[in-house]
Chain A
Amino acid sequence: MLFPEPGTASGVQWAWLAPALSASAFFAVVLLGRFIPRNRAFLSILAIAAGFGVFWYVLKEFLSSGGGEFSVKWFTVGDITVSWGIVVDELSVVMLGLVTFVALAVQVYSLGYMKGEARFGWYFAVHSLFAAAMLTVVLTDNFLLLYMAWELVGVCSYLLIGFWYERRSAAEAAKKAFITTRIGDVGLLIGIIMLFKATGGHFDYSTIVHVAEEGGIASGTLTVAMLLIFLGAMGKSAQFPLHVWLPDAMEGPAPVSALIHAATMVVAGVYLVARLFPLFLLAPTALLVVAIIGLITALLTASMALVMTDLKRVLAYSTISHLGFMMLALGSGGFTAGMFHLLTHAFAKALLFLGAGSIAHGSGKTDIREMGGLWRRMPVTAVAFGIGVLALGGIPPLSGFFSKDEVLVAVLSGRGPVFFVLTLAAALMSAMYMARLLFLVVLGNLKKENEHAHESPWVMKLPLVALAILALTAGFLAPGWTSDYKGFGAFLFHEEPEAYHINGLVMGLSLALAFGGFALGWALYSRGLLSADRIRERFAWLHRLLVNKYYIDALYQWVINRIVLVLGRFIALFDRVVINDTGVNGTGRSVLLSGIRLRYLETGKVYNYALGMVVGVVVVALIWWLGLPNV
């Protein structure tokens, strides 16, 4: 039942309204757009704002009377029943709040950023569709609906990356994103079907978890299924080796990057691992793979972020790196840490992308080497951007410091010192590239060609300020303040509430690395105490390796061009030459040829035919006599 029974206290069922509203906005704009007078964007924004309202209502109801699962039948096929359903628990409530808030902020911002754009209405329509699909991802209670919504967010991402489809690179990037994530999705689908088979025909999480915990799924099957499902998460969350699509996705408009490629869609993979955490705990090998992939991703992409020169690309690599941190935390058993980092990172990174958009809007620049001193011309943007930088760099008391600290604690206790040290290395790099942005973009001297740069309109500044406040303060959610609120870990946890950890060693190291990273950045990019150019020359091979993204993209391109397409050409040739020309036309030709040959048998001479008849009769008689005695 999606409609609450009369007389029942809880109203959390109404959470389904949030995606439904945005979906209606999408259909209204697409189907009736012509009849809506002026500004169609306002429908989308109204829908997501109402969704945000639904979040507050659901939160209130949830805190007072708890959550639950609610579903309606969708269709049956054979003995399988497929339903639409939602689950309201701590995890989905947190995600509901995050998605509606960031989507609202980004849509408001887009009013300014996309102003005067052709296809303005279409842009907002797709945003609404995205919000509906993303909210379904986080609310659904079963795998099939998850997969559907999962694919739909992928399509929205495709449409929005390719929003400026007249640009060849944008169309190319959109296609790359869709296909790369689809490789992961195949794993997800097979994993879902494996679990479906193993549980005797179930899609809903709670039944599958229940069966698995009872030992109803063979551990080998479970491990393989979880690995396949994680492949899907890797695709969406751009984990190595499927990370290549996300940097290219920066071809889309900046607000799209903020919403889809930083705060919401790309964390869907992390969310999925968290949602299925009980299953991953039953498959420790799969969980270890999660941790390893997360660590590799965090390290690899943080190093690439150090050398990129396009502002949005730096942010993209930083996003992937932080998604790696989240996966690593989950893979180390740090459920709360992973989710908390997801939350703080979402605010800070959405802020940074919107800031980058505002900078591009005001100065027309996208290359960080051409920026500098922008605070003199666009103070609000610069301050907000600076807050985002410091938050992600891990400077206390901003939000990133708290969550990064929790991730480090989780890694140390869950996976031991080797993982921990490597995580520290990634954290140091993350402080360094953030420092690079701070000193090259915001601070420093204003360049002459940027004299004309101007501050963005208030619809763009407002979301920046809101997100900046959250990036500044969200960290304080971690420790408890009152007897009612015992910290984030006491609200969102797996199995046991987690108190706020303070580990002196970890915190000390974390602080040292954050400040050390920023100090190094200051020395390199602001004071010139160290010469970045000299380092670049000294380690030219390393620089080349990083700038070329470890040649991973090139390798994939090579595989596609040299293996997949060559194989395709070979099989297409085989199809024509062997099957069609030899098999089909050859058969036809041989009939023709045998006709030409055989016609010489038709001599027209009676004694030839008589001989043939006699031979035939004898052969038939022989067969009859020898072969078929009983007929």
Chain B
Amino acid sequence: MLSAIVFLPLAGALVIALLLREERRIRLWAAAVTVAELALAIAAFVLFRVEDYRRVGSMELVERYESWIPPLSVQYHLGIDGLSVPLVLLTALLGMCAVFASWSVRVRVREYFMWLLILQTAVTGVFVSLDFILFFIFWELELLPMYFLISIWGSGRKDYSAMKFVIFTLSGSAFMLVGILALFFSVDTFSMVDLPSKIEGARLILPAGAIFAFLFAAFAVKLPVWPLHTWLPDAHTDAPTAVSVMLAGVLLKMGGYGMIRIAVGMFPKMAQDYAWLLAILAVISVLYGAIVTLRQTDLKRLIAFSSISHMGYVLLGISSVVGVKGAVSSVGLTGAAMQMFTHGTITGLLFLLVGLVYDKAHTRHIPDMGGLATRMPLIATAMVVAGLASLGLPSTAGFVSEVVVFLGTFPVWGWATALAVFGIVITAGYILWMLQRALFGPPLQRFAQVGDATLVEVLPIAALVIAIMVVGIYPAILTEVFKTGLEPIVNSLQTAAGP
């Protein structure tokens, strides 16, 4: 089943390449593929919740072909656990939204949807791979469609931004590859399931701290962590809407996912030793990102910068791994994982809406806007919902994840968390300023002809609003799942922290 989930979009892309010519059919086909993908992901999620609810720490739906590349003992090994299954669901959800958000693409339609579908395969593959080489292949595969999508269908300085994105990620990947190879030559396996136990007590050819730092650096670029963040605003701003949605919604989460499963999961002791550094970087990311966001006047850039701030909360949650007096709790990591999911839905929705506003009003410069709420009430309402979720309003997803991060981290890093909480005031500042200037105020004459969202555009908006509200009102739907996935990591952290 997992192979189907991973390769369905790729197969869809092949069909487009070989069989489909007409633009309308390509769009419909892509939509059908992503809807089927979402159905599969929901099925996997439900199966996981129902069947294996109590099987803590076990991988489910495993597919293993041991002799894929025998001389290197590289395996084709897929599986999901509580940590990855929500992210697979998120990828499928946003993948579908991305296709619907691309309805108005008119340039080189065939290639566009092919790349979009390939991107989805790559990201899903990252979340379900259990072999390090396979993981790395998917990790790299994601760059290709991103590069083309930004540099062909983007706007502004698109070539610069696309190249910058690729170089940043590749530099990170270089570090990651060194880490992967160092591990392989130390313990002779690429299996991500076996690695944690084998690393423990093994003699490594590089110091454990160095391998941890290499792996962490690769993920820190992706998350991104200050000061490795500057690719993000450029890439987001110049990317087409659907690609921004995917980039903010799921690509950043590859970084957080790698940090939790690989950096922390394989090197619990190192993560605890450097947790103070993570906490500091997290607070800087949160506050720095938020303050810079205050000064942005481009709608898309504003949301891009806000992502830096919000991903800081992910890092903050991760920094709680050191525990209090030798007792490690899973709360902080759960918060980090929750924040990844909720940020994906919220920021995905924001980018979607900003793209619509730009399509219709032909400007993203906030000071030029005003009174759009009268012209596009549906979009405005969704934007208010997304904005309020982004600033952490209770009963939306944003609140739950942020508060769980705070609860998990405050006992460990009191001052750092207290400082990070101030991020929510600044967030309220820029979000409300954006809403006020763009949507409220007297209706402007130059927007007199601007219309509201069409039915095709409303579909993804509705899907994301529902996701945001469901997680906000019934967080157990995610917390229980994440818990089963995080338990083994927390156990190893507990062992590393000592009795």
Contact = CB atoms under 8 A, between A and B. Distances in A.
Interface stretch (A4-12, A163-171, A491-499, A607-615): A163-171
Contacts of A158: 432
Given A152-B395, A155-B393, A179-B425, A166 B443 contact: yes
A79 B167 CA distance: 42
A595 interface: no
Interface stretch (B135-143, B270-278, B341-349, B434-442): B434-442
B35 interface: no
Interface in A72-101: 74-80
Contact of B288 (A77, A189, A571, A580): A571
A569 B407 CA distance: 32
Contacts of B392: 151
A565 interface: yes
Nearest to B371: A166
Nearest to B428: A182
A166 B441 contact: yes
A416 interface: no
Contacts of A588: 167
Interface residues of A, number: 48
Q: Dominant SS at the A interface?
A: helix
Given A77-B331, A149-B394, A182 B399 contact: no
B163 to A, nearest CB: 9
Contacts of A179: 425, 428-429, 432
Contacts of B428: 178-179, 182
Contact of B227 (A166, A190, A569, A583): A583
B418 A165 contact: no
Contact of A171 (B407, B425, B436): B436
A451 B334 CA distance: 67
A572 B404 CA distance: 30
A307 interface: no
Interface in B360-398: 371, 373-374, 388, 392-395
A253 to B, nearest CB: 16
Contact of A193 (B291, B410, B424, B480): B410
A544 interface: no
Interface in B411-443: 411, 414, 417-418, 421-422, 424-425, 428-429, 432-433, 436, 439-443
Contacts of B164: 584
Given A77-B331, A166-B440, A179-B425, A193 B394 contact: no
A182 B393 CA distance: 11
Nearest to A200: B411
A80 B288 contact: no
Interface residues of B, number: 55
Contacts, number: 133
Contact of A79 (B329, B335, B417): B329
B407 A571 contact: no
B475 interface: yes
B437 to A, nearest CB: 9
Nearest to A152: B394
B295 A162 contact: no
Nearest to B294: A568
A151 B391 CA distance: 11
Contacts of A165: 373, 439-441
Contacts of B404: 77
A179 B432 CA distance: 9
A189 B406 contact: yes
Given A166-B442, A569-B295, 19 more contacts: A76-B479, A76-B480, A77-B408, A77-B483, A155-B393, A165-B373, A166-B441, A168-B440, A174-B432, A174-B436, A179-B425, A179-B429, A182-B425, A190-B418, A193-B407, A196-B407, A197-B411, A567-B291, A571-B291
23 contacts: A75-B475, A75-B479, A77-B334, A77-B335, A78-B329, A78-B330, A80-B407, A147-B403, A166-B374, A167-B442, A168-B440, A168-B442, A171-B440, A186-B425, A190-B418, A190-B421, A193-B417, A194-B410, A196-B410, A572-B291, A580-B230, A583-B230, A584-B230
